[in-house]
């Protein structure tokens, strides 16, 4: 299959690209579209054949559910059956964070085929703020199932080029909406009623993302227990066996988001001894020699997420782009500095942990 790449500016190009995407989506084909987090591989969410093509193109196992994108309250009600006890928290969270990088896990409606939710009684829903995505879904006027547009378990794409690197020849069309403004996948929250009378709603955080715990804590009681894996031991070696974790969100297993190159996440400079004849590259947070990582080895290449004092949102925007670049170098190992676990840094450090776990998990886990 030939994969077309269409620009979305200037305006006539946008109109043409949106029309081409909508035609293909109507015909049950998957199309890669930009969102503000990462590129998604979209298909009409109510069409089981279209959804099957998404799983096939990504080589995604059928037990890993997709996120459904909507663009209105009416469309949300089409895909989710919101119970009265969640009505108020859903209204609050969508009012605050939609359109944006927040996904809500809610009871699913019968309009959503079981393939989309991997048989779960719930559906994950978000509304993207990306103007190109918004144009497509408005013109189509149907909910779009769209997981990240990478092959299963690999690095999420944050540019149209990265989508091609993942899916060229497997899908008919990519719309080029430029680099993603957030750079890391949406925060996934499962809201629940208060756990005691008069209490706040409980917000189970299933995946850390651009909407941070600080952003969410005003609206409910945060619960992290579902998120895997939390830090193990402060100085655990990435090659140590990982204790089994309870998986509340399918797909939130270890060993996601992996480069092909083995990645080692350091907790401190002292724990790394380079081996002769091995080629290393460094993913540095802020590129400050005082942090102690830059001279640990003769790195084949060092990339810096946010040069200077280290700005977490900037690090997020560049994160997958730079990780993909390091992966393409063909070194023996990528060495990653730890990222401060505040704000969106929580999401970045989480992705690094999973990437580091990706190389010693059994093949049945997502990798
Ligand atoms: O930012 C994003 O969320 C991007 C853009 C394209 O929207 N999408 C994305 O989708 O990251 P994906 O498929 O790579 O991740 C979806 C994850 C699943 O792996 C699973 O962890 C969680 O969402 N998920 C989906 N449905 C769920 C459900 N019903 N219950 C719990 N978790 C669910
Ligand atoms: Mg993904």
Distance CA 351, CA 258 (A): 8
Determine the atom of ligand 1 nearest the C-alpha atom of 252.
21
Please report which ligand is nearest the Cα atom of 65. Answer: 1
Mean pLDDT calculated for residue range 177-182: 98
Cα dihedral 67, 343, 153, 57 in deg (nearest 10): 40
Domains of the chain: 4-83+112-176 (3.90.870.10), 263-356 (3.40.50)
Mean pLDDT calculated for residue range 341-349: 97
Percentage of the chain surpassing pLDDT 90? 87
Decide which of 205 and 245 is more confident: 205
Average pLDDT, the chain: 91
Mean pLDDT calculated for residue range 345-353: 96
- Cα of 155 vs centre of ligand 1, distance in Å, is 14
User: What are the DSSP calls for 154-182, one per residue?
Assistant: BPPP-SHHHHHHHHTTTSSEEEE--S-SS
The region of weakest confidence among 29-38, 46-55, 216-225, 353-362 is 353-362
Q: What is the band of 359 on the pLDDT scale with cuts at 50, 70, 90?
A: low
Question: What pLDDT, on a 0 to 100 scale, did the predictor assign at position 237?
Answer: 39
Estimate the crossing angle of helix 160-167 against helix 312-328, to 10 degrees: 40
Question: What pLDDT, on a 0 to 100 scale, did the predictor assign at position 233?
Answer: 37
In sequence order, what are the residues at sequence separation of 6 or more whose Cβ sits closer than 8 angstroms to the Cβ of residue 210? 37, 100, 101, 182, 184, 186, 187, 313, 316, 344, 347
Q: What is Dmax (Cα atoms) for the chain? A: 63
Determine the atom of ligand 1 nearest the C-alpha atom of 150.
14
- Cα of 155 vs centre of ligand 2, distance in Å, is 8
In sequence order, what are the residues at sequence separation of 6 or more whose Cβ sits closer than 8 angstroms to the Cβ of residue 16? 6
Please report which ligand is nearest the Cα atom of 147. Answer: 1
Distance CA 77, CA 108 (A): 9
Question: Would you say residue 189 has pLDDT above 50?
Answer: yes
- Cα of 269 vs centre of ligand 2, distance in Å, is 30
Question: Would you say residue 114 has pLDDT above 90?
Answer: yes
- Cα of 58 vs centre of ligand 2, distance in Å, is 10
Residues forming a β-bridge with 336 = 265, 283
Determine the atom of ligand 1 nearest the C-alpha atom of 156.
14
**291 Rama class: left (phi>0) / alpha (psi -120 to 50) / beta:** alpha
Cβ neighbours around 151 below 10 Å, total: 15
Residues forming a β-bridge with 178 = none
Cα dihedral 297, 303, 309, 315 in deg (nearest 10): -130
Q: How far is CA 138 from CA 18, 21, 75, 133, 135, in A?
A: 10, 12, 11, 8, 5
**Cβ(254)–Cβ(361) below 8 Å:** yes
Question: Would you say residue 282 has pLDDT above 80?
Answer: yes
Question: What pLDDT, on a 0 to 100 scale, did the predictor assign at position 94?
Answer: 98
Decide which of 95 and 246 is more confident: 95
pTM listed for this prediction: 0.92
Give the tens place of pLDDT for each residue, 131-149: 999 999 999 999 999 999 9
Question: Would you say residue 247 has pLDDT above 50?
Answer: no
Which residues' Cβ are closer than 6 Å to ligand 1? 35, 37-38, 40, 64-67, 103, 105, 117, 120, 122-124, 126, 146-148, 185-186, 188, 206, 249-252
Question: What pLDDT, on a 0 to 100 scale, did the predictor assign at position 358?
Answer: 77
- Cα of 309 vs centre of ligand 1, distance in Å, is 32
């Amino acid at each position: 299959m030939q994969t077309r790449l269409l620009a979305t500016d200037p305006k006539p190009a946008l109109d043409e690209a949106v029309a081409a995407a909508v035609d293909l989506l109507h015909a049950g084909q998957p199309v890669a579209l930009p969102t503000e987090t990462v590129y998604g591989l979209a298909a009409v969410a109510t069409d089981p054949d279209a959804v099957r093509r998404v799983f096939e193109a990504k080589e995604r196992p059928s037990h890993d559910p997709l996120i459904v994108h909507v663009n209105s309250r009416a469309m949300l009600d089409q895909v989710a059956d919101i119970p009265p006890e969640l009505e108020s928290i859903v209204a609050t969270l969508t009012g605050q964070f939609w359109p944006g990088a927040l996904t809500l896990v809610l009871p699913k409606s019968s309009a959503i085929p079981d393939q989309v939710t991997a048989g779960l009684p719930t559906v994950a829903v978000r509304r993207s703020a990306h103007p190109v995505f918004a144009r497509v879904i408005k013109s189509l006027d149907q909910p779009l199932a769209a997981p990240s547009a990478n092959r299963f378990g690999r690095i999420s794409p944050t540019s149209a080029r990265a989508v091609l690197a993942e899916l060229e020849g497997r899908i008919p069309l990519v719309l080029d909406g430029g680099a993603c403004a957030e750079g890391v996948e949406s925060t996934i929250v499962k809201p629940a009623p208060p756990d005691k009378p008069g209490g706040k709603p409980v917000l189970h955080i299933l995946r850390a993302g651009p909407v941070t715990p600080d952003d969410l804590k005003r609206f409910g009681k945060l619960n992290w227990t579902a998120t895997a894996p939390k830090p193990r031991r402060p100085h655990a070696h990435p090659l140590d066996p990982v204790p089994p974790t309870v998986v509340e969100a399918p797909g939130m297993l270890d060993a996601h988001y992996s480069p092909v190159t083995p990645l080692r996440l350091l907790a401190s400079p002292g724990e790394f001894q380079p081996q002769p004849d091995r080629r290393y590259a460094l993913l540095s947070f802020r590129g400050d020699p005082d942090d102690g990582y830059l001279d640990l080895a003769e790195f084949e290449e060092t990339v810096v997420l946010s040069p200077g004092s280290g700005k977490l949102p900037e690090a997020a925007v560049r994160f997958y782009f730079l990780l993909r670049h390091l992966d393409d170098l063909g070194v023996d190992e990528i060495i990653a500095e730890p990222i401060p676990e505040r704000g969106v840094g929580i999401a970045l450090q989480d992705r690094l942990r999973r990437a580091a776990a990706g190389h010693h998990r059994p093949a049945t886990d997502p990798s």
